[in-house]
Structure 1
Amino acid sequence: MRDLSSLRWVETALVMRQFEKMPWLAVAMLVGILVWFGLPSPGEWLVFLGLCGLSAALVLLFLDDETYPFVRGAVVSLVLMMAAGLMIAWGRSTLVGTPGIGRPVVAEMTVRVIEREEASRGRSARLLLATRDATGETIRARVTLSEEFDLPELGPGALVRARLRLMPPSRAVAPGLYDYAQAAWFDGISATGSVMSEFEVFEGARSRETSDVQADLHKLVLDRIDDAGAAGIAATLVTGERWAIPDADAEAMRNSGMAHLLSISGLHVGAVIAIVWFVSLRLLALWPALALRVPLPFVAAVAGAFAGIGYTLLTGAALPTIRACIAAILVLAAMALGRQALSMRLVAIAAIVVMLFWPEAVVGASFQLSFAAVIAIVALHNSAQVVRFRAATRQFSLPVRALRHGWMLFLTGLVIEVSLLPLVLMHFHKAGLYSAAANLFVIPLTTMVVMPLIGICLVLEPLGLSDPLWSLCGTATGWLLDIAHTTSSAPRAVKISPLVPLWLVFTIAASGTWLALWTGRSRLLGVPGMVLGILALLSLSPPDLIVSGSGRQLALNSGGNTYWLRGPENFESERIGELVGLATDDSGGSFASSLTLIDFPGARCNDAFCSIEAGGGQDVQILIGRGRVHADPDELRQACVQSDIVIAENALPHLCEPKWLMLDGRMLSRRGGAAIDIDARVVSYVRPAGDAHGW
């Protein structure tokens, strides 16, 4: 095959920049997994695999290995890694996927308690139960437990009987919202529900489980620190249980961008491992006979690894904590072997390990946020400009060095926040805009003051020497809350975002990945995409119309107001409110607006329907059922013919034929909730057409 100038340019670029393949292999694997989640059916998955195989074959056949070794190897390895990612996700779903129960059930059941999640203030505890369905198959169900029916015996291992109400795991209320059914499919949970009667106890909880140690430590911290808010934060740092944090403090932590402190992840595991590594290294160095015979960095790394594993188990071994522990152990291994502790290659290996065992994690917020933050940190600190800045810092006096280190810490926080902003808004529809400034203080305070103090207090507690330090620990933890409340109460501290299109997030992510992983000036090609994407993200407007999957709630945006089918006071309206960019009140409850469709200008309503005209550039007639619709067939036919959109929670007769869109119970049950741009005539659904994923 004759030489192609473009291929020669690519080959030269790869050679000149010493192309590091491992990070791009991780990206390719990630793309393959996302393709499996994005494409709806096995036929399309097979087509994608075929295209990957065909691409690899064509490159191997027509590109000469001597002329284009880098291009040849890169293309083949990347497309095969994409195929591997899709097959890993497909295989994982096939092996562990657990279908939900077919219909709601209310019955007396004998169950075994697997896990118990304690109640937070104002909320119910939750139990993970194992029971059997009508066919005798073992199923797992997560149920809420009110204080009325709670018993001391209801811990892991208890065998009890009670009346339960179970239903299939719920799908996302509308596009862009959390899909619990997907998470339950991979977690092996077949049902959710609630307890409806008192328990009959056959066997009590098993004694002295890890959860008991958690509970004991949690209670110990709460008892030793007087301030309730500080005690709740400190207890969360020890055990990962957040139920003791007052709602106002939890909301302040979220709005200030400090909520990551409440989720045990890389920061906490890394802090524990770093503290143990440093202390072990210093103490062992005091023993000359050992220091001369044993490589102390290796011994300290082993001690840090055991500390990280123990902390992971103590805090419940949640998937984000396991991922953080794996990554931290890889860093320890690199340090013990004398390799660079933080590099893109190491981050890529950690990501590949996680995706190999838990491919479903890549569509979750935890995986995306944690790896995006780490990639941003490594890319910034490995850049030539920052390396020169750090090297030059050593020449200055101590005050100047402190200022330069402070500036680097702030810059790191700022880069992290910019990197995470699209993901945070996509998943949570709300982000703290001053979090970079807040984290400039809280991250060092947490890792270098609060967590070491808590650790010392726990070590000294059996000796009876910890009382003065608990008071100091409470004061330091209280500073975290002071920063959170000060930051969250600042003007425009919180950015509320409506539904974020996936294409926009992918554009920003692709630009950011290029900027982080490529080298040389050509990496700056990722900057325009990042800047334009973030500007577009900040200027998003909410969909004109959002309909829940049940059809029982909708939100219509018009003239700066949001109009609801029913008052905005239930779970569905709270979730939909996130997509239309409405904030809850201070208690986290209902939205400030209480307008219903009857209040819509020109609305014509009766007991069965409301008929309204909406749309900015063009008037669109919308017919909305106010409950389960049972209308006269002739009247229904006439009303539907005159309408562009018809919405109803129950299935309507086929004689109802609107001009554009039918969203009745039949359609919503197949496709889930919908978000509609009326002027552009664009409709997004929870489920794509022909979706064959198990959940």
Structure 2
Amino acid sequence: MERWLEAERDQLILWLPVALGAGIALWFALPDATAWRTAILLLSAIGCAALATGRGGRAARVIAIGALAAAAGLALVWARADRVAAPVLQRPTVATFAAQVERVEPLAARALVRVTLLPVGSVTDARGEALDLPPRVRVNLAEADAPKGLGEGAMIRLRARLMPPPLPAVPGAYDFARVAWFAGLGATGRGFGPVVVTTPADGGSGLRGRLSAHITHSLDGSAGGIAAALATGDIGAIGEDDSEAMRRAGLAHLLSVSGLHITAAVTATMLIVMRLLALSPWLALRVRLPLVAAVAGAGAAIGYTLLTGAQVPTIRSCVAALLVLAALAIGRQAVTLRALAMGAVIVLLALPEALAGPSFQLSFAAIAAIVALHEHPRITALFGPHEEGAARRLARALGSLLLTGIVVEAALMPIAVYHFHRAGLYGAVANIVAIPLTTFVVMPLEAAALLLDAVELGAPLWWLVQQALDLLLWLAHLVAAVPGAVRSLPAMPDGAYAAMVGGGLWIALWRTRWRRLGLVPLLFGASWALATPAPDLLVTGDGRHVAVRTAAGLALLRDRAGDYVRDTLAENGGLIGEPSWLSDQPDARCSRDLCMTDITAGARTWRIVATRSLYPVPTAALIAACRSADIVVSERGLPRGCMPRWLRLDRWTLQRTGGVAVTLGTGRVTTVLSPGDRHPWRVQAAPRAFTHRPGFRGRDHVWRARHPDERQDPGSQAQHS
């Protein structure tokens, strides 16, 4: 081991952010403060024991530093969660209040304006009673209700329906409550007109808002939204169809300001500064122009990051760009995994919660894959400089771009499937055209058009930008329409994802032949994820919406389910496209108030009964239906005599479990909430989730009941998680 670590000594520092991130991930995985303290003490003990018994060997130092870094990461994110703690609204309410506008985000494609508010003064609810609101709330306004003078710093008065930040609708769905906790958001909702501006904003909508509005008015359709995204990071004006096509084609990364955009801005700035200063022979002979250009590039990177809202991928890219510029200034190799590791450490120290988000994971995985690939000696020999003609040089460059795209797609696919339950298959081919088009055509033309608009001469360049972006959208729709362009999978087990991430890091960060061992956890995790069956039943936390896997595919209980609910249930059910309706299925018997269906799974037939309205069903008929069913689902509290053969998911049960996913073949029941989970955003949900009707008996029935197959075979075990 010592000989191996000696051979890999230059790579050991790359594992520091991995250890730090492992500690952060451990905090998210463990349930409560007792487990967090135990983990910190255990990791610290491992580190101290390694130093005490290692006799100065490299392996002992590696173990000690890794264990202590993991303990530091766990403590860091715990402290961060406590530091950002803010009150959270406990129940939905309609309130009238005054507030200061903190941020305005136009969502032109949805005809909405998203406003982050800081309530001030007294607040009253719909009954005129005093109400305490969280210090920061987020409200969506219809464009028609957004008054003039609405901008950052404005004071407004409005009426809004507010609700606590929602937990995931079903297991594996987007956890907005976690994101809202670290953002300090205590409530979210919808505002109603009229909205009164009592004090207009001094600077209008701010530089970012004015720039986005100018760009979207200069271009038609989603092209204006893409151009605004490239300049300011504002994606609100991109149409939903076009946005979906970009995602399916593997081009969505172009809409998030990250490494590609920062690199283009820094390179353009350095090139212009170098060429302009070189016009002076006196400066060229006496001043280190590359150093001056690097300082200008650093200023451009920081300014661009602030202009686009300083999102995680932008911050990461800005940090990486500054490290690259510093390396160039001191004459060192610029783009290395060490620079990437330092950037990761800086981001994790500042925003440790970013590790859990797809933005951080996608950004760093993409760059790590690119750098690790091109640091490999064989790749360097194949695609490095060669004495050859222009045609062969172009072919070699295209081959390098294609191979890089394939490797990046492979690196990002597990992350995309884990977070979004789908992954594009042809993104590598689409990016061969899209990346050069965006970097060398769209962004320079857009920057030049903005400069010429100062003297009202930018119209011809805006026309060129329009044509280039229309070509990009045409490419996205073309690739998205190819059969099999997107593969959808159900929610992936956390263990499978961790195995794939660990295997990928092992392959990317080591250099000796031992790196091949990373294929073992990588293939194991991939096999586990592919072998995980899609759930047969999905129930949202409020019990209103149910998705059942029938012979024809996924079918929804309620015909009036909204777009968000349909998309969420389809994604987590491993379905591409629109789900059908349960009432249309031949095996279902539905009335206005009740649905009953039989589905076959695990070599037996299961009967599921679900209520589909708030109107009461005759008690005798409901109890009879329950006795014939294996699972009963309702958004209401069911009568005491309603005892199905296995699961009763009514209002009182779902308040404790949140959304539920059931795999009938294995008897696996996965829930959003767990009684022992004490993460702060879950604790805030506890007063709502664990309340129950006084005198209600049998509220733990869902956990005491055995799987129906157990009653036939006492040796079998139901699997619950």
Same fold (TM over 0.5): yes
Instruction: State how far apart, in whole Å, the 1-side matches of 2:592 and 2:451 are.
Output: 69
Report the equivalent of 1:263.
256
Q: CA deviation at 1:662?
A: 3.4
After superposition, the C-alpha distances for 1:377-410 in whole angstroms (9 at most, x for unaligned) are 111011111122234x422222111111110011
Instruction: State how far apart, in whole Å, the 2-side matches of 1:326 and 1:422 are.
Output: 25
- Among residues 193, 201, 214, which one is paired with 1:197 in the alignment? 193
Instruction: State how far apart, in whole Å, the 2-side matches of 1:346 and 1:650 are.
Output: 55
Q: CA deviation at 1:252?
A: 2.0
Report the equivalent of 2:700.
none
Aligned AA for 1:90?
A: W
- Flag the 1:64–1:532 CA change in 2: closer, same or farther, 3 A: closer
Q: Does 1:687 align with 2:647?
A: no
Q: CA deviation at 1:576?
A: 0.8
Report the equivalent of 2:715.
none
Report the equivalent of 1:668.
654
Q: Does 1:455 align with 2:447?
A: yes
Instruction: State how far apart, in whole Å, the 1-side matches of 2:612 and 2:600 are.
Output: 17
Report the equivalent of 1:248.
241
- Whether contact under 8 Å (1:496, 1:583) holds in the other structure is yes
**Scaled by the length of structure 1, what TM-score is found?**
0.91
- Among residues 586, 591, 605, which one is paired with 1:619 in the alignment? 605
The answer to which of 658-667 and 575-584 deviates more is 658-667
Q: CA deviation at 1:241?
A: 2.0
- Whether contact under 8 Å (1:98, 1:186) holds in the other structure is no
Q: Describe the SS at the equivalent of 1:118.
A: strand
Q: CA deviation at 1:193?
A: 1.1
- Flag the 1:463–1:201 CA change in 2: closer, same or farther, 3 A: closer
Q: CA deviation at 1:568?
A: 6.1
- Flag the 1:539–1:399 CA change in 2: closer, same or farther, 3 A: farther
- Whether contact under 8 Å (1:125, 1:144) holds in the other structure is yes
- Flag the 1:409–1:611 CA change in 2: closer, same or farther, 3 A: closer
- Whether contact under 8 Å (2:136, 2:185) holds in the other structure is yes
After superposition, the C-alpha distances for 1:548-605 in whole angstroms (9 at most, x for unaligned) are 1111111111324223221263232331111123334xxxxxx252233x73626587
Q: CA deviation at 1:629?
A: 8.4
Structure 2 unaligned segments of length 5 or more: list them: 124-129, 682-721
Q: Describe the SS at the equivalent of 1:619.
A: strand
Kindly report which structure 2 residues correspond to 1:601-680, keeping only aligned pairs within 5 A, or say none.
601=587, 603=589, 607=593, 610=596, 612=598, 614-627=600-613, 643-652=629-638, 657-680=643-666
Kindly report which structure 2 residues correspond to 1:41-440, keeping only aligned pairs within 5 A, or say none.
41-65=32-56, 69-132=57-120, 134=130, 139-207=135-203, 211-225=205-219, 227-391=220-384, 393-440=385-432
Q: CA deviation at 1:640?
A: 5.0
Report the equivalent of 1:511.
503
Q: Describe the SS at the equivalent of 2:135.
A: strand
Q: CA deviation at 1:675?
A: 1.2
Instruction: State how far apart, in whole Å, the 2-side matches of 1:600 and 1:99 are.
Output: 49
Report the equivalent of 2:709.
none
Aligned AA for 2:274?
A: L
- Whether contact under 8 Å (2:588, 2:595) holds in the other structure is no
- Flag the 1:629–1:621 CA change in 2: closer, same or farther, 3 A: farther
Aligned AA for 1:105?
A: T
- Whether contact under 8 Å (2:496, 2:524) holds in the other structure is no
Instruction: State how far apart, in whole Å, the 1-side matches of 2:182 and 2:88 are.
Output: 11
- Whether contact under 8 Å (1:438, 1:483) holds in the other structure is yes
- Flag the 1:157–1:606 CA change in 2: closer, same or farther, 3 A: closer
- Flag the 1:601–1:376 CA change in 2: closer, same or farther, 3 A: same
Instruction: State how far apart, in whole Å, the 2-side matches of 1:200 and 1:604 are.
Output: 47
- Whether contact under 8 Å (1:99, 1:185) holds in the other structure is no
- Whether contact under 8 Å (2:593, 2:615) holds in the other structure is no
- Flag the 1:413–1:606 CA change in 2: closer, same or farther, 3 A: closer
Cα RMSD over matched residues? 2.5
Instruction: State how far apart, in whole Å, the 1-side matches of 2:77 and 2:438 are.
Output: 37
Q: CA deviation at 1:124?
A: 1.9
Q: Describe the SS at the equivalent of 1:202.
A: strand
Report the equivalent of 1:593.
580
Q: CA deviation at 1:529?
A: 3.9
Q: CA deviation at 1:182?
A: 0.8
Aligned AA for 2:215?
A: V
Q: Describe the SS at the equivalent of 1:691.
A: coil
Q: Describe the SS at the equivalent of 2:9.
A: coil
- Flag the 1:428–1:25 CA change in 2: closer, same or farther, 3 A: same
- Whether contact under 8 Å (1:410, 1:437) holds in the other structure is yes
Q: CA deviation at 1:214?
A: 2.6
After superposition, the C-alpha distances for 1:641-660 in whole angstroms (9 at most, x for unaligned) are 65443322234466655444
Q: Describe the SS at the equivalent of 1:401.
A: helix
- Whether contact under 8 Å (1:126, 1:144) holds in the other structure is yes
- Flag the 1:333–1:671 CA change in 2: closer, same or farther, 3 A: farther
Instruction: State how far apart, in whole Å, the 2-side matches of 1:620 and 1:490 are.
Output: 37
Q: Describe the SS at the equivalent of 1:162.
A: strand
Q: CA deviation at 1:194?
A: 1.1
- Flag the 1:250–1:602 CA change in 2: closer, same or farther, 3 A: closer
Report the equivalent of 2:712.
none
Aligned AA for 2:393?
A: R
Instruction: State how far apart, in whole Å, the 2-side matches of 1:564 and 1:592 are.
Output: 7
Q: Describe the SS at the equivalent of 2:139.
A: strand
Q: CA deviation at 1:535?
A: 5.8
Q: CA deviation at 1:465?
A: 4.3
After superposition, the C-alpha distances for 1:198-222 in whole angstroms (9 at most, x for unaligned) are 12332112225xx432333334334
After superposition, the C-alpha distances for 1:469-498 in whole angstroms (9 at most, x for unaligned) are 333333223322222122122222222232
- Flag the 1:312–1:602 CA change in 2: closer, same or farther, 3 A: closer
**Scaled by the length of structure 2, what TM-score is found?**
0.88
Q: CA deviation at 1:36?
A: 0.6
- Flag the 1:613–1:216 CA change in 2: closer, same or farther, 3 A: closer
Q: Describe the SS at the equivalent of 1:201.
A: strand
Aligned AA for 1:290?
A: L
Q: Aligned pair count? A: 672
After superposition, the C-alpha distances for 1:154-199 in whole angstroms (9 at most, x for unaligned) are 2222222222111111111111111111111010111011112312
Aligned AA for 2:270?
A: W
- Whether contact under 8 Å (1:320, 1:367) holds in the other structure is yes
Instruction: State how far apart, in whole Å, the 2-side matches of 1:533 and 1:138 are.
Output: 42
Q: CA deviation at 1:534?
A: 4.2
- Whether contact under 8 Å (1:628, 1:648) holds in the other structure is no
Aligned AA for 1:681?
A: G
- Flag the 1:595–1:81 CA change in 2: closer, same or farther, 3 A: same
Aligned residues with identical type, % of pairs: 39
Structure 1 unaligned segments of length 5 or more: list them: 1-9, 585-590
Instruction: State how far apart, in whole Å, the 1-side matches of 2:599 and 2:425 are.
Output: 37
Instruction: State how far apart, in whole Å, the 1-side matches of 2:162 and 2:480 are.
Output: 39
Q: Which has the higher contact order (CA 8 A, sep 6+)?
A: 1
Instruction: State how far apart, in whole Å, the 2-side matches of 1:449 and 1:124 are.
Output: 31
Report the equivalent of 1:445.
437
Q: CA deviation at 1:364?
A: 0.8
Instruction: State how far apart, in whole Å, the 1-side matches of 2:504 and 2:394 are.
Output: 30
- Whether contact under 8 Å (1:608, 1:629) holds in the other structure is no
Q: CA deviation at 1:145?
A: 0.6
Q: CA deviation at 1:93?
A: 0.3
- Whether contact under 8 Å (2:582, 2:588) holds in the other structure is no
Instruction: State how far apart, in whole Å, the 1-side matches of 2:144 and 2:8 are.
Output: 66
Q: Does 1:22 align with 2:13?
A: yes
Instruction: State how far apart, in whole Å, the 2-side matches of 1:233 and 1:634 are.
Output: 58
